[in-house]
Amino acid sequence: METSLDPDTVMTLEAFADTIVPGNKRFPEDRAIAGVSSDGGAVAAGALELLQHPAGGLAEWLPGLAQLLNGHAQGYQQEKGMPAGDAAPPFVTLSYSDRAALILRLTALDNPERQGWVNLVMFSNMAFDSAAHLHTTEALAAGHPGLLTLGFAPPDPDGLWRFERFSYQRPLAAIHPATTDAGNPS
Amino acid sequence: MTAAEKTDVLVIGSGFGGAITAYHLAAGGARVLVLERGPWLAAAEFDQDFKLGSSSTRIFDFTVGDGMSVLSGNCVGGGSVVYFATMPRAPRYTFERQGSLGRRMWPAAINRDSLDPWYDRVTEALPVSEQRWQTLPYSGGLWAAACDRAGHTCNPVPAAVDVSLCTNCNWMMSGCKFDAKRSLLLNYLPAAVAHGAEIRPLHEVQHISRVEPTGNFRVHYNVLDEVDYRQVIESGTVDAKIVVVAAGTAATPLILRRSEQYLGSLPNAVGRYFSGNGERLNTAVLDEDRVRDLLGLDRGDGVAFEAGQIGRGPVAACWDWLDGSLPEHERFSLEQLYFPPGLGTILAQAPDADEPSWFGREKKEMLRRWKSWLTIFTMSEDDNEGVFGPPPPTGNAMRVSQQMFGMSPLRYRPTENTLRGWAKSDAAVRDILERDGLARVRPWTNDVVGAYTVHPLSSCRIGDDPATSALDDRHELRGHPGIFVTDGSAVPGALTVNPALTISALAERAIPHIVRAAQERGVDVRYGAPTPAAETSSASSRPAVRTH
């Protein structure tokens, strides 16, 4: 992927997105991906593409957010008495559980700077759950890991969704005794 | 400087409150101009696509406030284009609600009996039809079967959907590609245009001022870029004798508050008493074997359910708690619902996960079973505890993205009453769906974007008490004759059911009063137009060229 972000920022944001929807390591020495899942997560789904998509409005905030996140990770390490990490961005050096604990803290309702983190969470999620950086038909055709995981049904050949079978076709409960003639609450 | 553009009636917004008003005023002979902040799309332009920039983000508004997020429409047709078209009437007890006032919230002139004739009109116009078991989508059937097994009733809910055209694709929130959903694009709006009303899309009204010495109003708007709504292309004004504000519950009070420095002091209730309709969601992950064994359900192909994606939004509801003998704040409906991935998945919590429950490893495992999700929608009685802070520089939010997503000045902290209703409804959903291991259920988290609503109400409400209502019972803004409000903001409080039909019925009811006010201001207009007729309701009356 072409990106104007520096490698540390990319790695930090990947580690964040991977905590939201975890995936498998792309290569043995992959540090951004914690590797707690057996198949593709938010990063493989395109989280970095979506975060940088001009329509999203987050791109300009990403370097600052990554820097802030690493600052919080450093504080977290100190607070927990963890040894300082190596040269990798501090958030990347955290385990999956510690990354998750820190994100819970950052997104907590009482954190005044929470909105930036919530935005990162939402876009990381959307990359996986709805592939919002891609046309849905193309994402499905390309085997997008998120839509595949959900089992999102493909469209008809014309690219539109229709479900010919959609109903159990029989009454399945008594209706409320006070229902009006037109089917309304009384 | 050129002379100011003039019209008789200026309508802000083209959702239910705006479209119904525009039709009747235009049909009665008034010059009507509708300014709509969103784009004007028709069926051919609705995309079945989650990509940013497709119709799903062009026509939708998602604003995150402090403790409350609001989903609403942003297009010609407003909420009717993006909603699920579920259209029940509000139960009788709703109109007797007291909330925290200690006295009736609704104007004395309005109760279910007095509103029924207005409900009838909208029901005929859209039209709204009764739904049948034979064509009820799987998820509604499943919810009904689960309710039945737990000793509860469950109803197919009236809807403004032509089932014969519906493909059960569940893309309703992106606009209906098949015109099966009877949005305002198919009835009131084309009828209004046929009677001479003009609709200008991408015109976002910012504030209203007064033109002296005429006493007319001057409406100030920005024209927005059709892709990047953060960009203003130009600004302008229109003078009008009557202004109808129907910009939506999350926008109307902000336009009015921004106008206060020009119009003079506003009623205290403008921007207060916001209600999220007591909304709350629970997501169940079903055990497919038990769906078959306990409920006896089979799709005919050996699959019991796995049909979360199939259908047309909410189609079945349990109304057993819509009981006027229950204490206020403990009444609610439980409606099966579909939300697309993204909006419909982010806040769901993995039923058996420790922290984190709404993201992470366990949540991903929950997503693997998405086809077996059943989401249940609570509409309860909250406490009108939402308050809008000062308006942002433009529009109703500080826009973050080009489209859809922004930060709102709305603040909401649920009271004990609201929390009690949610807890009781959560317990009811669990009792129905967790019996004998049918499913595992957990409510959506409120820890990310606060509470949320797709049915914002009451931020500029009608009432008899000037201290707690912004509008009198004719929907006129107190102290500002000639300004009316006809959208969801006028509804006094949560309804415990989907509110669109009630919003529409109230708008229909307000029309004779608006007509009278227009006549008093010298507008040659009569009241009495029939329900929008078929010949004036074709979808073809949109101008070929978008008006900028």
Average the pLDDT over each of B241-250, B311-320, B487-496, B531-540 and give the range with the smallest value: B531-540
Q: Do A171 and B168 touch (CB under 8 A)?
A: no
Is there a contact between B183 and B81 (Cβ–Cβ < 8 Å)? Answer: yes
Would you state the pLDDT for residue B42? 95
Which of A20, A176, A183 is closest, CB to CB, to B153? A176
Q: Please state, in angstroms and rounded to a whole number, the distance separating the CA atoms of residues B362 and B342.
A: 17
Helices first, then strands: H and E counts in chain B: 11, 19
Distance from CA of B1 to the nearest CA of A (A): 37
Would you state the pLDDT for residue B538? 46
Closest Cα in chain B to A99: B360
Distance from CA of B150 to the nearest CA of A (A): 10
**Residue A19 DSSP symbol:** H
Answer whether residue A86 shows pLDDT above 90. no
- Which residues have C-beta within 8 Å of that of residue B110, sequence separation ≥ 6? B95, B462, B473, B506, B509
Among A21, A144, A163, which would you mutate to test the B interface (most chain B Cβ atoms within 10 Å of its Cβ)? Answer: A163
Cβ–Cβ contacts within 10 Å for residue A171, how many?
A: 17
Would you state the pLDDT for residue B473? 98
Would you state the pLDDT for residue B302? 94
DSSP E strands in A72-170: the ranges are none
Which of A115, A119, A173 is closest, CB to CB, to B154? A173
Q: What percent of chain B has pLDDT over 90?
A: 94
Q: Please state, in angstroms and rounded to a whole number, the distance separating the CA atoms of residues A23 and A36.
A: 7
> Does A184 contact B at CB distance below 8 Å?
yes
Q: Do B341 and A129 touch (CB under 8 A)?
A: yes
Interface of A with B in 38-57 (CB under 8 A): 41, 50, 53-57
- Tokens read off for A41: 């997560």
Average the pLDDT over each of B114-128, B339-353, B362-376, B534-548 and give the range with the smallest value: B534-548
> Does B299 contact A at CB distance below 8 Å?
yes
ipTM here: 0.97
Q: Please state, in angstroms and rounded to a whole number, the distance separating the CA atoms of residues B63 and B251.
A: 10
- Condensed to tens digits (0 to 9), the pLDDT of residues B141-153 reads 999 999 999 999 9
Question: Which amino acid, one-letter code, is at B236?
Answer: G
Q: Please state, in angstroms and rounded to a whole number, the distance separating the CA atoms of residues B395 and B174.
A: 22
- Condensed to tens digits (0 to 9), the pLDDT of residues B221-237 reads 999 999 999 999 999 99
Interface of B with A in 460-499 (CB under 8 A): 497
Q: Do A176 and B319 touch (CB under 8 A)?
A: yes
Distance from CA of A38 to the nearest CA of B (A): 10
Answer whether residue B304 shows pLDDT above 70. yes
Interface of B with A in 232-291 (CB under 8 A): none
Global pTM exceeds 0.95: yes
Annotate B149-186 with three-state secondary structure: HCCCCCEECCECECCCCCCCECCHHHCCCCCCECCHHH
Closest Cα in chain A to B123: A182
Average the pLDDT over each of A151-155, B149-153, B191-195, B528-532 and give the range with the smallest value: B528-532
Size of interface A-B (CB pairs under 8 A): 227
DSSP E strands in B414-489: the ranges are 439-443, 451-453, 483-485
Task: Return the H-helix or E-strand segment holding B376.
Answer: strand B373-379
Which residues is B476 bridged to in the sheet? B484
Would you state the pLDDT for residue B396? 97
- Tokens read off for A162: 């229709």
pLDDT average, residue stretch A114-134: 96
Q: Do A172 and B64 touch (CB under 8 A)?
A: no
**pLDDT band at residue A83 under the 50/70/90 scheme:** confident
Answer whether residue B379 shows pLDDT above 70. yes
What average pLDDT does chain B have? 95
Would you state the pLDDT for residue B448? 86
Answer whether residue B38 shows pLDDT above 60. yes
- Chain A residues whose CB is inside 8 A of the B300 CB are 165
Is there a contact between B160 and B119 (Cβ–Cβ < 8 Å)? Answer: no
> Does A84 contact B at CB distance below 8 Å?
no
Q: Tokens 């697309």 sit at which residue? A: B340
Q: Please state, in angstroms and rounded to a whole number, the distance separating the CA atoms of residues B287 and B305.
A: 9
* Bond prior to B492 in cis (omega within 30° of 0): no
Would you state the pLDDT for residue B535? 45
**pLDDT band at residue A109 under the 50/70/90 scheme:** confident
Would you state the pLDDT for residue B544? 43
Q: Please state, in angstroms and rounded to a whole number, the distance separating the CA atoms of residues B491 and B303.
A: 43
Cα dist from B9 to B147, B241, B451, B523, whole Å: 49, 6, 36, 9
> Does B361 contact A at CB distance below 8 Å?
yes
* CB-facing half-sphere around the CA of B66: CA atoms within 13 A: 14
The more confident residue out of A85 and A66 is A66
* Bond prior to B213 in cis (omega within 30° of 0): yes
**pLDDT band at residue A88 under the 50/70/90 scheme:** very high
Q: What percent of chain B has pLDDT over 70?
A: 97
- Tokens read off for B64: 């995150």
- Condensed to tens digits (0 to 9), the pLDDT of residues B191-224 reads 999 999 999 999 999 999 999 999 999 999 999 9
- Which residues have C-beta within 8 Å of that of residue B534, sequence separation ≥ 6? none
Q: Do B52 and A132 touch (CB under 8 A)?
A: yes
Question: Which amino acid, one-letter code, is at A8?
Answer: D
Distance from CA of A102 to the nearest CA of B (A): 11
* DSSP 3-state of B242: strand
Would you state the pLDDT for residue B447? 85
Cβ–Cβ contacts within 10 Å for residue B264, how many?
A: 10
pLDDT average, residue stretch A33-59: 97
pLDDT average, residue stretch B464-489: 98
Is there a contact between B235 and B222 (Cβ–Cβ < 8 Å)? Answer: yes
- Condensed to tens digits (0 to 9), the pLDDT of residues A171-185 reads 999 999 999 999 999
* DSSP 3-state of B269: coil
Q: Do B88 and A185 touch (CB under 8 A)?
A: yes
- Chain B residues whose CB is inside 8 A of the A56 CB are 52, 400-402, 405
| Residue from A57, A47, A52 nearest A6 by CA | A52
Q: Do B133 and A100 touch (CB under 8 A)?
A: no
**pLDDT band at residue A3 under the 50/70/90 scheme:** low
Task: State the greatest distance between any 2 C-alpha atoms of chain A, in Å, as a whole number.
Answer: 72
Closest Cα in chain B to A169: B134
Distance from CA of B371 to the nearest CA of A (A): 7
Distance from CA of B22 to the nearest CA of A (A): 28
- Condensed to tens digits (0 to 9), the pLDDT of residues B313-331 reads 999 999 999 999 999 999 9
**pLDDT band at residue B2 under the 50/70/90 scheme:** low
Answer whether residue B542 shows pLDDT above 90. no
Answer whether residue B362 shows pLDDT above 60. yes
pLDDT average, residue stretch B132-159: 98
Task: Return the H-helix or E-strand segment holding B236.
Answer: strand B232-245
Q: Do B52 and A109 touch (CB under 8 A)?
A: no
Answer whether residue B534 shows pLDDT above 70. no
Which of A129, A146, A162 is closest, CB to CB, to B169? A162
- Tokens read off for A39: 């198949």
Torsion of CA B478, B481, B483, B484, to 10 degrees: 60
Is there a contact between A65 and A48 (Cβ–Cβ < 8 Å)? Answer: no
- Condensed to tens digits (0 to 9), the pLDDT of residues B59-107 reads 999 999 999 999 999 999 999 999 999 999 999 999 999 988 889 999 9
